[in-house]
Structure 1
């Protein structure tokens, strides 16, 4: 906040020094910009320093205090004056008040009295200064086209500039109403018609769209349309909570009917203060973002959805793991069901974020590809091919399109698995991997796993290597090391305790295997992780 500029004047230096030491001027929002020892010097400093407030002795050599305030009054300068007077100069003080002096303080100056007078002076100066700024702003805006001005102010209002609410009120734009709501409208760009538009055609469509919105607003006389980037914004003042939804539905119907144009409208919540319109705007934009998930050419309120956030994260992970089992067990009837459950979970998890939704689908695809590598199947030959698929997903206008592409990708994975091995072999391998994952702490041997799927140990070893690209012993070690790493990162267990939990009776042998895998002994790894 701007400091208020103060001039002090008195023909007695001791009085000036006393005034400066009497108060903590900066804490009161005041800054002393000059000191005068007589009336002539004070007059000169007023011209040079342009103060907001003068605190002066009423009787000084040169020009008296009465002369000074008479000049300020006649020049219409926006300067407040507080006089300091002796008791016998009381008649002068009364005369000074007639010329507009704010107040006077009798010598000797008492701190509490001066603080009280200064507090009132600061309040008046700030109020008048704010009023003057608003007046200047209003005069500036009135010189411009009124409609353009209102649109600019509404654009700034929805950005959180609360000062524009005062200007809009002074312009007579706002009516008395219980609520204010913001609606945001945009053309649905995925229609074939919109994709074929040239720049000139687009401008004509936007012009026609603006006219329909404006005519609708003029009919109710309590709404305004403004542009916000590529979108149209609507500020609606109303007394009934349901009125914004009713207006949006009516407007949507007119646009569909007259222009044969698909548009989506997001509605923010009703706020009871125009200065909180930015909150309603943010909710309207968020609601509009949901068209990616629920479909285009709709009216969407901020209450249509609720963010699930972290509540859906664990569910999504569980569904992803179940999809892996479903694929590897070649349960064709179950695959499509799992795909839809995963897509629905992502919709809930992503809230209104397109990027979060697409990244969740991408993560699921990469996780499935990694799992298929364990079966010796490489879905994409290069990273570039994978990136190309991921980039195409972000270009889709709706999540339904992303879901269709995801379903095609998973179906290709299923077919590759089916061609890689027969249904029976897939089920057997899946059974073995599931058993290892659940019982890695036990004494798992080649012979016990072969018996699990009714094979002899020699054939089982060949079978496992053929379908996973790894020998059986190496695969079991990989699983155990993965879980050992998790235990090291999450617990304060001793190394021998971790060894036992992942299936090693010999802690030294476990440490050797861990170092071979990760390049450090378990204790070294734990210490370096703590430092990080």
Structure 2
């Protein structure tokens, strides 16, 4: 249902137009009445009408002025102009501004409603076409998503059935246009608005070159599927350079920004579409080593090994996992640099540094889930993966990986320290409550939910003394207090502090305090 705004400086004309319109019959909805261009602009911004019926001559701005104001707010709004003057220049100006119709006063009810009926019919067709186009774009997005996930359609017939996708050309290829937003923007959101702008530009540039172009915004960048005939191959090849120039011009308005275009391997059968997409994705990854601002052709690197397992060997994996589990940042940094240096050596696919970091991030995520602690780990690593995708060179790639590891390690150091202090406090409370009884390290470790060996190590680390020495010191402190303040026999004092053997208590007290229990008592008598 379209909304209609009526604009005329004469109140009775506005009321007349409102009464003449067959609102229900035409399926129209009133959006209000305005008596000046400025008032109309406010209502246009508020209600976003599809149709505006306006007088031409009004104080404070003409109907032509209002067209400019309205289309700045609602670009697709449609105008019907009303005038009491048979002025050819008015009609000429209206045609230049793409006004849908021009009605002379006195207003005819039939003419007004016929005009609105034609316009509403056109708008319904337009909305239907837009919905169809949107649905087709969604299906195209689904096709690219499935190919990226390694699930291509088995045949052309299946592509038509599942995605309404018909590729009539002999050759297809995936291209990926990736925008690098620069170090200042590394931890900001995806350059989605830039991709939206480039999406339309890519379609316009390639429409006359290819039989079909699909453009979809994905996490890897702006993914393009080009379908063309063998006869169009040269024109498609030239279009890569034109598209690269267009992209660089578009992103040049943003400081430190650049772009790279990855041209994937061509394919004929849809079963080979995944290989084309992956070859383009590897070229996007390769820009980190080779540099942005250029076209990268998958055919130039197709024969080079691109397996990150060549770099992230089991030995290196074990070393990095061990460093992560023990929160050893220095060792982790050293091992990471060794792996990255190997990834950058010649004779390998230039995507390997990025792929190495991608695999290393996945390994760190597994270590966190299995051995460490991190709140909302899913969201954290999803965010880091997007940062990794924005990294434009080796320096930024290194920054993302090492900063992520350092953040994880620091969080866990603080957590372990806090938990360690809480554990020691709980152990001390246990000793204070049970010092007069036999106390075994195993019993206290069980109370604080730790293994005896880890509890013993943690206690020594946090207090600089062994648990056994702490228990002895605590008991002897209680014994000193009893000897100072009571007349309890020495042997009973030993029993009271958990050392029932009188001779052993005397030796232990003497070794700890430097005096025999009886001598210590005489000091306070």
State the TM-score, normalizing by the size of structure 2.
0.34
TM-score by length of 1: 0.34
